[in-house]
Structure 1
Amino acid sequence: MAVLELTDAQISTWVASFILPLFRVTAVLMTMPIFGTTLVPARIRLYFALAITVVIVPGLPPMPEVNALDLKALLLIAEQIIIGALFGMALQLFFQIFVIAGQIVAIQMGMAFASMVDPANGVNVAVVSQFLTMLVTLLFLAINGHLVVFEVLTESFTTLPVGGGLLVNHFWDLAGRLGWVLGAAMLLVLPAITALLVVNIAFGVMTRAAPQLNIFSIGFPLTLVLGLVIFWITLADIIPHYHSLASEALQWLRELARAR
């Protein structure tokens, strides 16, 4: 009866072919929006990462042969975690556009005090920002953005192979996108800010024309009501802006992964 014999090299190769991709997939799921929030338990994310890794491993290029206890293996694991975290942070920047936009509108309309605990991140955010975050999450799932992310993640094992090293321009690209986030948030809420500015100027003219008018008791509730109306009107034009920003964010993710 023949006995199956396995060498240390074979075992290390099999372990590396699964463990190294698992760390990259897990890092993405732990940092990306929707799946990487506290609403999804860490155990569920880990199970999801295991399932994705099992599915994509057969189609991945060969992994380098490493010993699980070598320093090289630890460096490769750190490399995969950093690459996955970069992908997740790139998507986080896209979602933060709408969070910042909601904060700007809330300040202009006098609702900055109306904040609530964001159950996804565990921090206090304006109610307007929370509403936009929920809306963007639903739209992202509706356009299958999460499937595009998993597709880019799978292609990244070919375009950014394990052991290929990290490039400095990946970090510079991520830092350079901070300006894009602020600019996109300002452009998104520019109509609402302009309309609210006109309202505030009108209140200033009223105060100048009738000094006896108590603008503080009248202006605050009117600004709040008009701000809600203006925000509701500007929501009618949010879909084209969302598609443009989502396309740009997903294309940047492909460029970050050097995918097609």
Structure 2
Amino acid sequence: MRFFKFKNDKYNKMAEIPHQFKAETDGDTSKITIYGVIGSSWWDDSTSASDIERVLKDINSDTIHVHINSGGGDAFDGIAIYNQLKNHAAKVVIHVDGLAASAASIIAMAADELIMNTGSMLMIHEGSTFDWGTKTQFRKTLNALEGLDKSIAEVYMTRFKGECHEIDTMIVNETWFTADEAVEAGLADKVNKAEEESEEEEVSAEDFKNNVLARFKQKKADTEPNPMVASTNNNILERFKRPV
């Protein structure tokens, strides 16, 4: 028996992302929220490909916004969800709210527009599994894992700007991308950064230097005696001197 997943258990625990799955429609726009573990579960605490299939068949919106915050889970559920979103008639806009790691990063690749929110991250790595049996069985498992890694590399290559051997190495290395790095690599389209308003005008390096030097000059002028004042004081004192 084999159960394929990504090596993500420690990341699910690290992130401590509570399960949340819901779908809402408002006019021509729908919103799907996928938080927590990807895959099937006896305890209804994860989001499976069957869950996504169920909600997508009832969505006729022009645009679907998918919000993801997940450390990953079952590899093939992730691939199935990727294809379900990719094949839907609506425009799919995916927002990485916090983390899109492992199987969740595969889902993110289905976006027509992938937006990384401020501080979010994306992580890719090799698949993993557990198995028991003979050496022949383990060879079959190894072949299956190698095939899985090739499959997920093909998914990333639909967006990645580099070469296939580079994404293969990044998968083996377990690579984390910040929001900006994901955009630079082509894996995401843009970063949704909060607007920062500044009341201060941008000052060039030369203007900054001149402003500092002007302050120094003014300080020096304030501490030195005024020649005109000194001369006036001397004239007044001369009037009080007795003739010799």
TM-score (norm 2): 0.24
Structure that is richer in helix per residue: 1
Structure that is richer in strand per residue: 2
Highest CA radius of gyration, 1 or 2? 2
